[in-house]
Chain A
Amino acid sequence: MSWCWLARTDERPPGALAAATISSGGFLAAFASDGPAPPGERKIDARAVDPDGASALASLVLAPDGVTIAFDDPAVSGALRAALAAPWPGVLSTLVVETSRFAGALTAARDGDRARLRSDPFARIFPAEIVEVGPGLLGTTPPPTGPVIQRYGGGEPWPWDRFAG
């Protein structure tokens, strides 16, 4: 499995693969890709999700409800380039809707590097907030080899970087 559903919820949802509180209120929850899509229908790289993961400071970029832009929009490509050029934060995934629509990003730094999160390149595209994500949600995404910014198949959230799902 290369991706999971990700949703922001008011209550801890039953049946979630992983869920954690966020300091601005409510929960972030991940759901299995073969289950029903939660509201927002956002996909996240599965490696960014770990039910045993520790808490972390995160930049959560979410498009307003119902709003997405093409993943290949130059604004997204520019943000991907900036993310590749900067020190890799440890957890980073774009949030993808359908096969090719960008709807946000989740970046977390377990070293608490707030400055890195403040300069989140995806925050130039959609509204962002810096939140403390509690334990039980965040995994680790290894840095991609680069300089590839393309996704490898329909619906794969970057930085997933290979064809075989």
Chain B
Amino acid sequence: MRDDLKPGSSFPDLELPDHAGNPRRLSELTGGDPLVLIFYRGWWCPKEQSFFRGLVAFQDEVEVAYTRLVSVSVDPPEVAAAFRAGLAARWTFLSDAERRYLEELDLLETTDTLHHPYVPTAFTLYPDLTICSVWNGYWVWGRPSLEELRRDLRTITKAIRPDWEVPSA
């Protein structure tokens, strides 16, 4: 992974097609809210399927918390759309089928010479794309637990919402 992708640094403003083929930019997708950004190998990986089932359960909390989820893989949009539908996921899946950012981010999983996928990596980002935390998920236990994501989202929300402390009458 690129050396500067660490807490406090700014994450690159990627531009990629979503699962329906619409061009999307990360800075537009975050839209002023905290963002959980997940790079994953692809639909075929059992570890991803397991991890994403957890995220699908998590989305019920995220949907009412002014927070967004975005995942990125090298799966083409139609494959990402099928994976998303199969999981009943309701967040945006970005497709880097052309592998435009693999090299730039230095996130190529070199041990998989068949799919040339992203190394499973998770980021929590502030709305201006400043990195809060990074998880290297090459091994399953390196991935963030939902509790760790909750903790980060609390930290980010507390920092960006001026009314975190309930306004007094």
Contacts and interface: CB of A to CB of B under 8 A. Distances in A.
Interface residues of A, number: 18
Given A87-B81, A161-B31, A162-B32, A147 B90 contact: yes
A148 B33 contact: yes
A2 interface: no
A124 interface: no
Size bracket, chain B contacts: 20 to 34
A164 B32 CA distance: 9
B30 A149 contact: no
B45 interface: no
Chain A contact residues, majority secondary structure: loop
B59 interface: yes
B85 interface: yes
A146 B20 contact: no
A147 B32 contact: no
Interface of B: 18, 20, 22, 29-33, 59-60, 62-64, 66-70, 81, 85, 88-92
Interface of A: 81, 84-85, 87-88, 142-143, 145-150, 152, 161-164
Question: Nearest 4 A-B pairs (CB), nearest first?
Answer: A84-B90, A147-B90, A147-B63, A147-B59
